[in-house]
Chains A and B, each alone.
Chain A
């Protein structure tokens, strides 16, 4: 099953919402959280997402539409 290592950044208004769980349930994607932290204004989760390729793409699109920024773990590699 394909996997994607991602860094999720939550704006303040989404920190208390179970967005990742809702995505996992709706698109049959399994998140494996490795690190997470929250400040007053932003939340951050480092996770591996596993699922069928189409589900992964749809799940990530869902997160982005909800307002979560989904970034590759490597950061921006275009320097």
Chain B
């Protein structure tokens, strides 16, 4: 039973049937999936959801699939923890971590968007999927595409660290290293999408791919006891997830599953590449032209997107929700990663460090009130960004294999 009505242009409102299209033929605005909410409300009740498997398809009425899902059945419904120790450290009362760093199988929030894109690609008759990525997206397309039995073409810029390449190569896709810079890879992928009948998950599958990000927000609403938080802090790269969490809260409200949404949405970026933060600070709807700082100068390489596809919609959600945006320096990012690990036992990737560093800043600024409920979005795993913390974590204490050495060197006896 599908509740999908079709696609609608986010800029001019023109309607389109479901297909592998991603921009409006008239104004070139992005397309978004529309649903029949009255129909969805009939079967999507709290009790019905509670009885369903704990995966991202738990909220299937508001996901863009016609048939039964067969992909990503182990993805989603990630841990949502009350962060008592971190809350004490930051001087706030009610703090939660939503941890997609342990999403299955590739340890990031991309394990939500990619299965939805791949499932839809199969429904639309594609046998080949693709993406351009430097990390998490490549891992997820390679893994989910393998399980779905699809051909996979993944494009990366030359010169990526070995660790990032291995995390994709192990799933044995066709991995293509494109000579040139990020702009060259972007341009080539656009040309390939236009020429070949392939499903590029974040290009011609983008309307469906981005819908998968709503499941992060649906889960926050459910795991918080069917309510939306007062504040939510979210990292911004391409700008997919923040507007979709905002949308998900409003969809839950529309279906009567949660009370009125009063959430303030806060965007987090690294200071080395912060086009969305700059737009919010300037009060502008237009994301200013920005070239990311060179790789060597950026700790947070995962958020290093100078021209975010959904940047304007991040600004819109931040503004509509009376939120704000802030950026974090390399030092603040690393310190926040260590803080989260030390207080809550969670090792996040650098994007999570950026998010926590920004949350800390917003609390200090008084934009996040200390007596309110705040959710911090952790979207990836620290094991993927080892190089960021190398040489910064100290060293083990070397001792001889004797009790005396242990007591002298370690216990200081």
* A interface residues (Cβ-Cβ under 8 A, vs B): 5, 7, 9, 11, 34-35, 37, 39-44, 46, 48, 69, 71-79
A5 and B28 contacting across the interface, CB-CB below 8 Å: yes
Excluding A5-B28, A77-B186, A79-B137, 13 further A-B contacts by CB distance (< 8 Å) are A11-B289, A39-B284, A40-B284, A69-B289, A73-B190, A75-B238, A75-B308, A76-B186, A77-B185, A77-B200, A77-B203, A78-B157, A79-B237
Among residues of B, the one whose C-beta sits closest to the C-beta of A46 is: B28
B residues neighboring A (CB under 8 Å): 11, 22-23, 26-29, 131-134, 136-137, 155, 157, 182, 185-187, 189-190, 193, 200, 202-203, 206, 237-238, 282, 284-286, 288-289, 305-311
A11 to B203 CA separation, bound complex (whole angstroms)? 27
Assess whether B136 is in contact with A5, with CB atoms less than 8 Å apart. no
Q: Given A42-B284, A42-B289, A74-B203, is A79 in contact with B305 using a C-beta cutoff of 8 Å? A: yes
Does the CB pair A44–B29 fall under 8 Å?
A: no
Q: Would you list the 3 A-B pairs with minimal beta carbon distance, nearest first?
A: A75-B309, A69-B289, A79-B137
A79 to B182, CA, bound (A): 10
Contact check, A37 vs B282: say whether CB atoms are below 8 A apart.
no
Complex formed: what's the CA distance from A42 to B157 in Å? 30
Tell me the complex Cα distance, A72–B190, Å.
Answer: 8
**How far is A77 from B189 in the complex, measured between Cα atoms in Å?**
8
Q: Which chain B residue lies CB-closest to A69?
A: B289
CB–CB A46/B27 < 8 A: yes
**Dominant secondary structure at the A interface:** strand
Do the beta carbons of A37 and B133 come within 8 Å of each other?
Answer: no
Give every chain B residue within 8 A of A37 (Cβ-Cβ): 285-286
Question: A79–B235 Cα gap in the complex (Å)?
Answer: 13
* Cross-chain pairs A/B with CB under 8 angstroms, 15 sampled: A11-B289, A37-B285, A39-B286, A41-B288, A73-B28, A75-B238, A75-B309, A76-B307, A76-B308, A77-B190, A77-B203, A78-B182, A78-B189, A79-B134, A79-B136
Task: Write the nearest CB–CB distance from A40 to chain B, whole angstroms.
Answer: 8
Q: Which residues of chain B have C-beta atoms less than 8 A from A75's C-beta?
A: 238, 305, 307-311
Is A9 a contact of B286 with CB atoms below 8 Å?
yes
A9 to B23, CA, bound (A): 19
Residues of chain B contacted by A11 (CB below 8 angstroms):
289
Most buried by B among A11, A34, A76, A77: A77
Contacts of B285 in A (CB 8 A): 37, 39
Residue on B nearest A32 in the bound complex, by CB: B28
| Residues of B close to A5: CB separation below 8 A | 23, 28
Closest beta carbon of chain B to A76's beta carbon, Å: 5
| Contact flag A9-B133 (CB < 8 Å), given A77-B200, A78-B186, A79-B238 | no
Contacts of B185 in A (CB 8 A): 77-78
B186 CB contacts on chain A under 8 angstroms: 72, 74, 76-78
- Which residues of B sit under 8 angstroms from A7, Cβ to Cβ? 307
Q: A5-B28, A74-B190, A78-B186 are in contact. Are A44 and B307 (CB under 8 A)?
A: no
Q: Is the CB of B133 within 8 A of A34?
A: no
Residues of A within 8 A of B190 (CB): 72-74, 77
